[in-house]
């Protein structure tokens, strides 16, 4: 019975990481950071989302 709880907790951590990465990416755009910063944050966000979707 512990496995579903652990999976749920891992899912929440992944979702929080994705939201944090998305927030960081959006902040880089709004603050007009240089293109390298924006691209780096975009790629980090995509990597986290890929990890969630890909399993």
pLDDT tens per residue across span 5-54: 777 788 788 889 989 999 999 999 999 999 999 999 999 999 998 988 88
Q: What is the pLDDT of residue 7?
A: 72
Domains: count for the chain: 1
d(CA 1, CA 19): 28
Q: Which residue has the tokens 């990481």?
A: 17
Of 14, 16, 45, which is closest to residue 29 (Cα–Cα)? 45
d(CA 48, CA 4): 21
Confidence tier at 2 by pLDDT (50, 70, 90) = low
Whether residue 1 is predicted with pLDDT greater than 60 in this model: the reply is no
pLDDT tens per residue across span 9-18: 887 888 899 8
Of 27, 52, 53, which is closest to residue 40 (Cα–Cα)? 27
Domain enclosing residue 29, as ranges: 2-54
d(CA 46, CA 25): 10
């Amino acid at each position: 019975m512990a496995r579903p709880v652990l999976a749920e907790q891992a899912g929440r951590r992944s979702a929080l990481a994705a939201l944090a990465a998305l927030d960081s990416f959006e902040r880089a755009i709004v603050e007009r950071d240089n293109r390298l910063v924006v691209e780096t944050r975009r790629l980090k966000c995509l990597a986290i989302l890929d990890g969630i979707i890909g399993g």
